[in-house]
């Protein structure tokens, strides 16, 4: 399928009814169990799902969608027959782990992913991620790894930087997934956080170095496989943050802003510096702010 502009709308029953009437002469049969109505025009295909999610794809997608409402998102899905995508979560959060995930998506998954509302996890609420991630985990082949704060801090103290840690995790989850699928040659995309040369420099001493990687910025909004990976990685992060919060009896905040600094001061007052180090990324600038009265 060619790369197309994709617009997604969520419409009510009345507007869906009007759409079906308006495009009555352009309705085609669909074999997908997730699709309610398939509409084909010259320069756009409109897919109406049972959930009342409506996806416009094609050169005139934006024009056609504007007739019916404001888009929930505007993305360019780079569809291919099959692809692996890898993404990470937690790298900018002072508290909690880094979680990296690689997923395999093929063409037959696309309708189901659209029905679920899959997109870049940054555009989804925590509740939505918690709702759909278990469904993705059951159906989509994936490999996921995490580094908890204790191990992360040990690596940093031993001369690693965050880029190297991320690179090693991405390489390993891609290796694991390719072995699981028995597909060593397949389009594989990483949401780019370093140049290709730097990435391979970071992993040059790894036991299994995966090649044929495509590095692309904002890949989670372009490739469905990366979007799915971002959701599963974020789900893992949320689950682990909940567990860590229960351990200390305090709700650990996400991010690395002033609220985190304020919380950190309360944490240190209650538990001390050494305890803080077990739950945070110690080298972040937040540590100095938290420990400075």
Q: Where are the beta strands (DSSP E) in the chain?
A: 4-10, 27-28, 35-40, 45-49, 53-57, 73-77, 82-89, 98-106, 142-147, 188-191, 213-216
Is residue 123 scored above 90 in pLDDT? no
What average pLDDT score do residues 25-54 get? Answer: 89
Q: Is 82-243 the same fold as 4-77?
A: no
> Domain residue spans in the chain?
4-77, 82-243
Q: Which fold has domain 4-77?
A: TATA-Binding Protein (3.30.310)
Q: Which distant-in-sequence residues (6+ apart) come within 8 Å of 139 by Cβ?
A: 109, 112
Q: So what's the pLDDT on residue 80?
A: 65
Report residue 184's pLDDT band, with 50, 70 and 90 as the boundaries. confident
Is the pTM higher than 0.85? The answer reads no
Q: Which fold has domain 82-243?
A: Nucleotidyltransferase; domain 5 (3.30.420)
Q: So what's the pLDDT on residue 78?
A: 65
Q: How far apart are CA 97 and CA 63, in angstroms?
A: 42
Q: How far apart are CA 7 and CA 66, in angstroms?
A: 9
pLDDT in tens, 65-75: 888 887 655 55
């Amino acid at each position: 399928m060619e790369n197309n502009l994709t617009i997604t709308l969520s419409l009510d029953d009345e507007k869906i009814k009007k759409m079906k009437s308006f495009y009555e002469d352009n309705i085609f049969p669909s074999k997908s169990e997730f699709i309610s109505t398939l509409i084909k025009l010259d320069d756009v295909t409109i897919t109406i799902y049972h959930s009342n999610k409506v996806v416009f794809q094609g050169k005139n997608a934006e024009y056609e969608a504007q007739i019916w409402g404001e888009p929930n998102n505007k993305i360019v899905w780079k569809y291919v027959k099959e692809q692996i995508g890898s993404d990470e979560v937690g790298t900018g959060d002072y508290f909690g782990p880094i979680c990296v995930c690689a997923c395999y998506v093929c063409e037959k998954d696309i309708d189901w992913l659209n029905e679920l509302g899959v997109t870049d996890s940054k555009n989804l609420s925590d509740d939505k991620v918690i709702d759909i991630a278990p469904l993705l985990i059951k159906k989509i082949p994936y490999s996921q790894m995490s580094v908890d704060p204790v191990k992360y801090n040990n690596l940093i103290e031993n001369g690693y930087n965050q880029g190297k840690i991320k690179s090693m995790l991405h390489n390993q989850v891609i290796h694991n997934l390719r072995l699981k699928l028995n597909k060593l040659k397949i389009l594989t995309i990483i949401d780019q956080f370093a140049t290709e040369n730097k990435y391979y420099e970071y992993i040059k001493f790894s036991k299994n170095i995966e090649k044929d990687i495509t590095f692309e910025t904002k890949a989670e909004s372009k490739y469905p496989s990366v979007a799915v990976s971002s959701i599963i990685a974020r789900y893992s992060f949320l689950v682990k943050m909940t567990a860590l919060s229960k351990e200390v009896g305090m709700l650990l905040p996400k991010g690395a802003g002033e609220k985190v600094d304020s919380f950190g001061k309360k944490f240190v007052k209650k538990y001390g510096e050494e305890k803080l180090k077990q739950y945070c990324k110690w080298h972040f600038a937040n540590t100095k702010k938290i420990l400075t009265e």
